Structure 1
């Protein structure tokens, strides 16, 4: 029986195999944030001579990339990238996701928006029939925190401030439990339209293109189906 760390390691290795045909001397990769991505970064070190560098969704990942000898580019220096690799806190069979457990959700969405495809790497515990068991992170401008919390309560959620945490953007996170999410894209749009919300952790309007899900029986690949 593989433990969760071994499952994450297998997902990271599968991502390395997936991106290898996309590497080249001018290629900049998009790299996300989280424990599975940490393992991906570690594995990426052996291939660093095959690509130009990476654009990161967080300071945490940028530090790890630099420590592995991988050049980190500001996203403003990057006009295109073939692939963005990141994890998820939850993902469903349609490749909608909840992300932001590490607090990097806004930068994750921004970096992912520049990439040709989003590859999500997770262990099997993150695959769910329906999103919402994991509280939805919502990044908010500090002065709007209570106003946003009231609106999220009206949507049926129970928002709680992530105490003592400040995002790389200088904002705060409300973790919202109790939401029903039958239509992830609709809820994403509604939450993002609340004044004071920087970004919410639903990735459904632009979900993953490919999921590499590490299981006890190997890595399972799911591709997003055309709408």
Structure 2
């Protein structure tokens, strides 16, 4: 129940709750992956159940698909949808230009494909995800398993000429084995500390053989909804240049939220 949430979970919840106001009946909606996006999926499920909202959701991971079905959202593939009205997703970091680092949950490839196939991308985040310059959060890149050590070496060599503070690259693990994405790939995490030119880095990374995609989302996000632990919500629209502040009151919720597993 929302009354039992920590301040950071309250911030995630109010951001998600505010963002679903953008969803209208009949829309095709991209459903993001991660702890904040899970709140959003639950909120949409509540609207489907209680308000009769009719939408079709395109999940960005198998776990989001499972959660969407659990809460009663009709799930379709991106190929079936072809194009989306909007995507709502979280972020690991965002800056003042609404550029993002995503992929902490390992779903960056599907997330980027779905986001770019949408008329609008809305990012939901707690205020702690806002940064002046991207890079404190490790930048994930998805790489194919074949020759991943060679790919890692090529990335490390490439980073020497980039405007970054750190160049440590690690293979993401799942226990004793490499983490495997929904597409059967691995994730390399780039510990850069600060990224001076995110646009340049994104383009150069995707030229490295073996790299499938990187977690820099440049000029993709249109709106960020920022949640605070006291219930305040700030909606920033990069295209309109507007900032709107609201406050959501916490009420005791039914078990739709009680069993949320982040």
Name the TM-score, length of structure 2 as normaliser: 0.80
Q: 2:14 is matched with which residue?
A: 10
Residue by residue over 1:97-147, the C-alpha shift from the partner in whole angstroms, topping out at 9 and shown as x without a partner, is 000000000000111111100000000000000000001001000113112
Alignment of 1:123 with 2:137, yes or no, is no
* Unmatched segments (≥5 aa) in structure 1: none
Q: In structure 2, how many angstroms separate the alpha carbons of the residues matched to 1:178 and 1:75?
A: 33
Q: 1:24 is matched with which residue?
A: 25
Residue by residue over 1:37-65, the C-alpha shift from the partner in whole angstroms, topping out at 9 and shown as x without a partner, is 11111111122232231001000100000
Q: In structure 2, how many angstroms separate the alpha carbons of the residues matched to 1:76 and 1:219?
A: 34
Higher mean displacement: 3-12 or 178-187: 178-187
Q: In structure 1, how many angstroms separate the alpha carbons of the residues matched to 2:77 and 2:22?
A: 24
Residue by residue over 1:140-160, the C-alpha shift from the partner in whole angstroms, topping out at 9 and shown as x without a partner, is 001131122112212042110
From 145, 164, 169, the counterpart of 1:159: 169
Q: In structure 1, how many angstroms separate the alpha carbons of the residues matched to 2:60 and 2:13?
A: 20
Q: In structure 1, how many angstroms separate the alpha carbons of the residues matched to 2:192 and 2:134?
A: 11
Name the TM-score, length of structure 1 as normaliser: 0.92
Q: Report matched runs for 1:1-227 at 5 Å.
A: 3-19=7-23, 23-25=24-26, 27-48=27-48, 49-154=52-157, 155-156=159-160, 157-163=167-173, 164=177, 165-178=179-192, 180-204=194-218, 206-216=219-229, 218-225=232-239
* Unmatched segments (≥5 aa) in structure 2: 1-5, 161-166, 241-262
Q: In structure 2, how many angstroms separate the alpha carbons of the residues matched to 1:147 and 1:224?
A: 39
Higher mean displacement: 48-57 or 88-97: 48-57
Q: In structure 1, how many angstroms separate the alpha carbons of the residues matched to 2:225 and 2:171?
A: 32
- Contact in 2 for aligned 1:94/1:225 (Cα 8 Å): no
Q: In structure 1, how many angstroms separate the alpha carbons of the residues matched to 2:199 and 2:130?
A: 18
Q: In structure 1, how many angstroms separate the alpha carbons of the residues matched to 2:222 and 2:30?
A: 14
Q: In structure 1, how many angstroms separate the alpha carbons of the residues matched to 2:229 and 2:107?
A: 29
Report the CA distance between 1:179 and its aligned residue.
5.4
Largest Rg, 1 or 2: 2
- Contact in 1 for aligned 2:103/2:215 (Cα 8 Å): yes
Give structure 1 regions of 4+ aligned residues with deviation exceeding 6 angstroms. Answer: none
- Contact in 1 for aligned 2:86/2:122 (Cα 8 Å): yes
For the aligned residue pairs, the C-alpha RMSD in angstroms reads 1.7
- Contact in 1 for aligned 2:115/2:220 (Cα 8 Å): no
